[in-house]
Structure 1
């Protein structure tokens, strides 16, 4: 049956619209998808939802997975859990009236083997058509039913008695879809696109001198193969993306990203920035007042940043450092270098909690120098806000710490020379760019330092941040002791509560983290409130505080201040404390239901303890039974304290997009390439990008348009 809305297209399958018929003198990227047969306004609108506007877009919309319908499996050989293509005669059919009304169709073969087809949703016409004596061919996953093997809602078609139905000549593709587009429609559309591709090959945007040494198929061969894999192709190779056809497309996509990032970097280098040399006076005074000495890795990073700031082109540097590695003091030294050159510095953090933590740290260090950082957040209203805005605009506020509030139109700087962005992956592209636009003058830009406590595996950093210089703080400050992590079943909850009591009675403090129960902040906060009441009852005599995302910021800040000052023994919290909380006396953390969290978030939460000199512990209070992946994650976090090692393992489990939080609008996303799987291609893609920019500049823009389109400027100036 055609999809709803298909009938408003051309009715004759052999007659393509005239516009499409002239494809021999038009590129596939200029043939609208709406000119294909059976694509009317409704289907065109549904394709548009998926970003498919042209025939080329359709060709690059690759299958999610494949089904093997190239051979029929005898009913005697079907296996539970396996998707199977079978054929048989309908022996009996009827409507069952058990717990759920269903249409039951019993199918058998000449050998007496049988299979039950079960439909919970069906029409009277469907029930009438599936009658005894008809032959049917169906595809679905075989399950063990209450009485026999069965398929639930299989795809099926009735066979014509007078002729044998042909078996598929290739593996059957299953495409990513949207409401109103069935797989039969996708296969019909891609059949037409593949036919057009035979007449007009898509442009090869990678020269032979780049492609030939790699021994990869042509673009046309790769696309044709991936849309219609021939009989005998390994389903496992397709599922894992390890066929050379995938490598051909992944390589081109990687080259497109590298070219885009390199072009962006060249554009950045053509922009001027204030030269922030500084005389070193403020920095030396800060060093002398610190109660600790910088580590060797901190000193190395400080020198790298200082050299960048002294240049007349904008610094674009990514600072990576594990939880507690000491990134904030490095940022403070960079900010002082800007102040020594009579420029302002701004630090933007994604949450008020983190911004306040930075403000507190900077105020503590810089107060001795006679400098008071100004903090600007959404809570500041009326006269208080006006006073802060005036100080920023006049230059009386040399260092400004804030949240998204810094991006508002009424925030103006006198001379912004340095922008520091913490946890940059939590900001959208336009937010980061807007802050940069507030400095550097008409033809310039401020220097930019991007910080993250989410360690990024080297393979990803090479791929995603080719436009940035990379600095890594790869050690912890002296005196820090590794955190001991243990996984404990929630059946031992009483023992864990008693451990909290003993730790607090010994003068230490503890966190109890309640994780997301459902995709609902309301329910998560309710769980935290219930937990706080229960723990208060169990831990009589201990001072218990509560913070969660639905508290007003003033209330939350008051609780956090009380915990930081030692006025509270136990802090019950949701994951709002993931970053920005620094209480050295806290040495015990309990994380409830850690199986619901990813490795990066678990590592960030755990990093709230272990910030003093006393040995700290993190207990992962899990609920059994654990899935295989959850068991693996908890094992990794238990056995490793290195954020970089955890990031590599997280990448292997979840993939690049999830590790970096790149589902946010404007962030880099790969359609086909996988930085982990395609690591061997990354260095080659970087070399290819350099060769294209120098030797084939005319191919650069078409390549970027093909793979990134409107998404190119996810990190631009």
Structure 2
């Protein structure tokens, strides 16, 4: 059992209200809305950036775009009104240069402060104006003649905004909280022998260094997240998340699971009946799964593989191991369209082997639903395919031994737990196989999926022609229309993907509806369909089925077609406003073509001018079709949030750590986690409580 936390530590986790001056119920409510509930939360509410008010810069030495603090006497004041009220205050200093302070929001009392000759100290970012450099809305104070305002000894922190609490009040509150930081011995959780040799400060010094950096602190290191104080905090945060997931894994391993250790006869029959041979990667991953399923403890394996790499076949062979043992397997997909695709494949492969594959989704109703539910409950349905409907309370399995979840990050955590619990009986739970077509960089997998074994199908089936990708400016749309006309005349099909449904004044993007109407007028000989997120589910499904059946030549769609649609005859993909999409999404869309033998093309249509990040994204898409390379680049450009999905276990919401920046620390984090779990499990629990808190209980989903 973990030892009880020290009494001092318990005090730090008391509600902020009543502990700090100026924090009554209303202020406490505003802090709580931002997740700031305890003193510890305030310590870990770190600055976004810093302002250097420890020195004065002569006005003549100011550089455009470089924040600085200056001091000068008011030389002239001018109030005007062009489009809105404006106040200009000219100040000069001993460098015989003038700086204009410009205000758009001001009161009469402020104007009165700026009497000619008054001494003003201000801070802000200069930029070129009509009469030399100016600062718009600087922070300032008017100094009295006897007011010898000293310069600060520390950089001023600028904290993330908390609605209803001003920046100055926030600084005061966090200052009070820091004054109550315990001594090093009480605060430090990592054993001294672990910190030795790391050349990192103690946790106390790291927190003080982040909130109150000295005037000579390395601002560049603080800005890039490479300062030793940041690295010390990031190390402990990464360690906490790793420990949390490992704890969940340990807890799960205490459960039993049915050992599916048969001879694999059905899996072999399936493999022999397939019209294609498995790749080496598929065989390797199936061997890993088979080894896991033969154990009496639950498998927790993530299989990642690029679009079209053959994950479903591997999942089907795993399901055969469960069926051979007289038990059931379930496969859940996030959309009906994707689930239907799995259903069609599994029925084609498994029904010739005498396996009953059942279908359970929201649209299966009435008598048909009752019949399926009865088959699932009796065990007559050996493999069950469906959407989140599988996870509903009324669904009861006879003996679920393997739960397969596709595109798992699109399900809520509770839904995945609900499916796992369908097979729970006493201490026994089903094995879990999780699949994703969004390749996850190794560094991210180490941090975010420490509770899972990770397999990669990193080889595409033979005969797949790589998709040729080009980027074109939007001005060349007419060329693309002719290209579509030619492709469809040859019997091919095409996608035109838009990023918005309706026209928007705020975002320059062609809407799906407008594009559909324009293309229908330009290409009257083609059968054109439209799919977007605001259509009823039945309408979307009907249009997608028509496209898959070849009854539609050109499909105009929003990104709803990103996952799972398999139309081998589609050989041309046009993505409108490609600069607005992330790499992972662009790669998923491109994966909708190139699924047949014909040479396929993806055209990324963009609106200039491009941002630097957009240029990098489009260049990456042109250079590689490898989803794992793209995932690494996506992590580098955008961080982990998009890759994990917003409903992941909260791991993307790091306070200090950045998985792309701090990837080099992960091997050390794993080593520290191993040592703590082996030698000091009670310390591991306290580190988890400090950084992760209640979120830990979901991590095993």
TM-score tier by shorter-chain length is over 0.9
Offset at residue 132 of structure 1 (A): 3.1
Offset at residue 486 of structure 1 (A): 0.2
| Distance of 1:554 and 1:523 partners within structure 2 | 29
Offset at residue 29 of structure 1 (A): 2.0
CA gap of 1:64–1:254, structure 2 versus 1, over 3 A, is same
Residue 472 of structure 2: which of 479, 483, 488 is its match? 488
CA gap of 1:414–1:554, structure 2 versus 1, over 3 A, is same
1:48 match: 32
**SS of the residue 1:92 aligns to:** strand
Offset at residue 655 of structure 1 (A): 1.2
Would you say the 8 A contact 2:502–2:511 is kept in 1? no
Deviation digits for residues 597-628 of structure 1, max 9, x if unmatched?
00000000000011111111100011111111
**Match status 1:319 vs 2:311:** no
Offset at residue 518 of structure 1 (A): 8.5
1:351-430 alignment runs, 5 A limit = 351-430=335-414
Would you say the 8 A contact 2:495–2:572 is kept in 1? yes
1:61 match: 45
Would you say the 8 A contact 1:56–1:202 is kept in 2? no
**Match status 1:277 vs 2:261:** yes
Would you say the 8 A contact 1:274–1:440 is kept in 2? no
| Distance of 2:471 and 2:99 partners within structure 1 | 45
Offset at residue 202 of structure 1 (A): 4.6
CA gap of 1:27–1:395, structure 2 versus 1, over 3 A, is closer
| Distance of 1:375 and 1:24 partners within structure 2 | 55
CA gap of 1:277–1:37, structure 2 versus 1, over 3 A, is same
CA gap of 1:106–1:477, structure 2 versus 1, over 3 A, is same
Offset at residue 700 of structure 1 (A): 1.7
1:172-187 alignment runs, 5 A limit = 172-187=156-171
Residue 678 of structure 1: which of 651, 662, 681 is its match? 662
1:168 match: 152
Offset at residue 171 of structure 1 (A): 1.2
Deviation digits for residues 440-459 of structure 1, max 9, x if unmatched?
31322110001111111111
| Distance of 2:285 and 2:499 partners within structure 1 | 35
1:39 match: 23
Would you say the 8 A contact 1:666–1:711 is kept in 2? yes
1:643 match: 627
Offset at residue 112 of structure 1 (A): 3.8
**SS of the residue 2:658 aligns to:** coil
Residue 669 of structure 1: which of 653, 673, 676 is its match? 653
Residue 137 of structure 1: which of 121, 126, 149 is its match? 121
Residue 128 of structure 1: which of 98, 109, 112 is its match? 112
Would you say the 8 A contact 1:216–1:244 is kept in 2? yes
| Distance of 2:502 and 2:300 partners within structure 1 | 39
**SS of the residue 1:197 aligns to:** coil
1:47-126 alignment runs, 5 A limit = 47-126=31-110
Q: TM-score scaled by structure 1? A: 0.93
**Match status 1:295 vs 2:306:** no
1:9 match: none
| Distance of 1:702 and 1:420 partners within structure 2 | 34
**SS of the residue 1:677 aligns to:** coil
| Distance of 2:430 and 2:516 partners within structure 1 | 46
> Alignment RMSD, CA only?
2.2
1:189 match: 173
2:323 match: 339
Residue 12 of structure 2: which of 15, 29, 44 is its match? 29
**Match status 1:449 vs 2:433:** yes
| Distance of 1:440 and 1:27 partners within structure 2 | 36
2:3 match: none
**SS of the residue 2:511 aligns to:** helix
| Distance of 1:169 and 1:519 partners within structure 2 | 53
**SS of the residue 1:308 aligns to:** helix
After TM superposition, the structure 1 stretch with the greater mean CA deviation from structure 2, 120-129 or 599-608, is: 120-129
2:419 match: 435
CA gap of 1:273–1:103, structure 2 versus 1, over 3 A, is same
| Distance of 2:263 and 2:286 partners within structure 1 | 15
Would you say the 8 A contact 2:301–2:434 is kept in 1? yes
Would you say the 8 A contact 1:517–1:523 is kept in 2? no
Would you say the 8 A contact 1:32–1:53 is kept in 2? yes
Residue 288 of structure 2: which of 286, 296, 304 is its match? 304
CA gap of 1:688–1:518, structure 2 versus 1, over 3 A, is farther
Q: TM-score scaled by structure 2? A: 0.95
2:533 match: 549
| Distance of 2:513 and 2:262 partners within structure 1 | 51
**SS of the residue 2:196 aligns to:** helix
Offset at residue 561 of structure 1 (A): 1.3
CA gap of 1:675–1:353, structure 2 versus 1, over 3 A, is same
Offset at residue 396 of structure 1 (A): 2.4
**Match status 1:567 vs 2:544:** no
1:695 match: 679
Offset at residue 68 of structure 1 (A): 1.6
CA gap of 1:666–1:128, structure 2 versus 1, over 3 A, is same
Q: Give the aligned length.
A: 694
| Distance of 1:367 and 1:130 partners within structure 2 | 86
| Distance of 2:503 and 2:59 partners within structure 1 | 43
**Match status 1:537 vs 2:521:** yes
Deviation digits for residues 660-697 of structure 1, max 9, x if unmatched?
22465645532212222222221111111111111112
1:577-596 alignment runs, 5 A limit = 577-596=561-580
| Distance of 1:155 and 1:81 partners within structure 2 | 16
Deviation digits for residues 178-235 of structure 1, max 9, x if unmatched?
1122221222122222222266765211101111121211111111111111112221
| Distance of 1:380 and 1:548 partners within structure 2 | 23
CA gap of 1:391–1:301, structure 2 versus 1, over 3 A, is same
Would you say the 8 A contact 1:90–1:107 is kept in 2? yes
Would you say the 8 A contact 1:662–1:669 is kept in 2? no
**Match status 1:259 vs 2:243:** yes
**SS of the residue 2:422 aligns to:** coil
2:188 match: 204
| Distance of 2:382 and 2:442 partners within structure 1 | 35
Offset at residue 282 of structure 1 (A): 2.4
Offset at residue 487 of structure 1 (A): 0.3
Offset at residue 525 of structure 1 (A): 12
Offset at residue 550 of structure 1 (A): 1.7
Would you say the 8 A contact 2:413–2:647 is kept in 1? no
CA gap of 1:557–1:133, structure 2 versus 1, over 3 A, is same
| Distance of 2:486 and 2:162 partners within structure 1 | 55
Would you say the 8 A contact 1:515–1:593 is kept in 2? yes
Gaps of 5+ in 2: 1-5
2:496 match: 512
| Distance of 1:665 and 1:119 partners within structure 2 | 45
1:18 match: none
Would you say the 8 A contact 2:467–2:625 is kept in 1? yes
